[in-house]
Amino acid sequence: MEPPKIWRDKRQRYLALGINCKKCGKRSFPLSEYCPYCGTNDVEEYRLAETGKILYFTNVSMTSDEMAFNAPYCLGIVELDDGIKVTGQIIDCDYNNLKNGMEVKMVFRILARDGHEGLIKYGFKFTSM
C-alpha cells in the first residue's frame, strides 16, 4: 500500500516552519494556527533560522524500533539564531568533541522508518559548522 498523499504533501514535514504572532510579536515552533502565548489566531507562518548553538546534549543508546537504525545517537537542544529552541539529533560529527555553545546548522535527513507500513519520515537534524 502506498503512503497517503496527505503525508507527502504537508510542507512542515520538509521545512522547519514556525509561527510569528501578529498580536504579541512572539515566535514559536512548531507550526500552529494559534499563538501558544496569547491564544490569538492572528499568526503568520515563517521559516526558522537554519543555524544555532547547542544548549544541551545527551547520548541515546536505547530507542524505539523505528529509531533503532540511528542508535546510538546524540540528541540535543539547539537555540536557533532567531531565538527558537528545538530538539534534534546531532549528526556527522565526533561526539567526543561536542560542547555546549557549539555552532550547528540544520540539515534535512531521515528521522525514522516505520517497518510495518514502510513509511520513511524525514525532518531536520543538526550538524557542526
**HEC assignment per residue over 15-66:** CCEEEEECCCCCEECCCCCCCCCCCCCCEEEEECCCEEEEEEEEEECCCCHH
Each residue's pLDDT tens digit, 40-89 = 999 999 999 999 999 999 988 887 776 777 778 899 999 999 999 999 99
* Percent of the chain at pLDDT exceeding 70: 84
Q: Could you give all domains of the chain from N- to C-terminal order, each with its CATH number? A: 15-47 (no CATH), 49-129 (2.40.50)
DSSP conformation class of 3 = P
Q: Tell which wins on pLDDT, 53 or 110.
A: 53
| DSSP states along 111-122 | EEEETTTTEEEE
Residue 97, pLDDT > 70, answer: yes
* C-alpha grid cell, residue 119: 513509511
Nearest to 88 by CA among 79, 97, 96: 79
* Percent of the chain at pLDDT exceeding 90: 57
pTM of the predicted structure, to 2 decimals: 0.82
**CA dihedral over 80, 55, 100, 67, signed as positive or negative:** negative
